[in-house]
Homo-oligomer: A and B are copies of this chain.
Amino acid sequence: MKTWEENVRKVVPYVPGEQPKVQNLIKLNTNENPYPPSPKVAEALKAIDVDCMRLYPDPAASVLVKGIADFYQLQEDQVFVGVGSDDVLAMIFMTFFNSKKPILFPDITYSFYDVWADMLRIPYETVPLTDDFTIRKEDYFRENGGIIFPNPNAPTGVELGMQDVEAIIKANPDVIVVVDEAYVDFGAASALPLIEKYDNLLVVQTFSKSRGMAGMRIGYAMGNPVLIKYLNDVKYSFNSYTMDQTTLALGAAAIADRAYFEETVHKVVETREWTKKELTKLGFVFGDSKANFIFASHPEIPAADLFAALREANIIVRYFNKPRIANYLRITIGTQEDMEKLIEFLKKYKK
């Protein structure tokens, strides 16, 4: 080993879901929206003036921040934007999780939380979900350096009721509580109204799921202006200009089209509910997902085998070979047609 290697920050990086380049794949593995972005996004793309690209973008990302603030009827100083919600969450970890006490998050959850904690040398403890994969609020009523959980949780899709969410925030006034709402638009209640009441709350959302723009990398946090100011200070100390010109223009166009957003979300939810019924008929078991995926297990079919068989049939889902969930598959909700093909395959596979 070279001497300089002694001072390398060594990490076990997050492994993102596969992005295969195979044609005719039914891609149900990374919770993307099956519907494209709003037609307003295509219009905005056409309107981009390439000659302006020689100039730096607006470091405050104002057009996008204003669009998000307008959508949620917030002030602009209550909104922080970043390069996908992963960037937003990384900035939150850096900014707020600097206690010597461990931060808390569920044992079964978004698999990036422990990666950030490890990379940033933040102590953490994972809190086991109950056997039916729910968060027990009382488990978070103890000393800690900060709390983060997705709602609905990933990869389970299970929603924590708003009373329980509020109880956790209220019980922890001395630390920052982050509610990661990447999937909230597909039917769960948002903690957003609580940011007016609790100054220790950050609500994080993304354009990657319900707004069909994973390819453009837009995430955002909402909270009181003091929290947002601290976040922006760290962001400006890391990279002043994170949001490029096309992202700003296309993101602003997307968030302004509420009707399209509601229509496509509704379609995904309808397909999810149809898929749930069909999976139940086939003997699969799963929680009542409020997300754009279903986390399902089958008493007779090993998940790893099914994962491989689906892959063989050009249907790709997500399999986590981890304790407690090694017999589950996370199946993203695609178009109605995608899901009909999945169910057809499963019917044949079961025979």
Interface membership of A22, Cβ < 8 A? no
Residues in chain B near residue A237, CB distance under 8 A:
11-14, 115-116, 118-119
A53 contacts B8, CB within 8 Å? no
Q: In this complex, what residue of B is CB-closest to A254?
A: B53
Interface membership of A319, Cβ < 8 A? no
Q: In this complex, what residue of B is CB-closest to A54?
A: B212
Interface membership of A230, Cβ < 8 A? yes
Residues in chain B near residue A14, CB distance under 8 A:
236-237, 240
Given A54-B36, A246-B216, A230-B98 contact (CB < 8 Å): no
A55 contacts B215, CB within 8 Å? yes
Q: Which of A21-40 contact B (CB under 8 A)?
A: 27, 30, 32-37
A45 contacts B48, CB within 8 Å? yes
Residues in chain B near residue A214, CB distance under 8 A:
53-57, 241
Interface membership of A199, Cβ < 8 A? yes
Enumerate chain A interface residues (CB-CB to B < 8 A): 2-4, 6-17, 19, 27, 30, 32-37, 41-42, 45, 48, 50-59, 83-84, 86-87, 90, 94-99, 115-116, 118-119, 145-146, 173-176, 199-200, 208, 212-217, 230, 232-247, 250
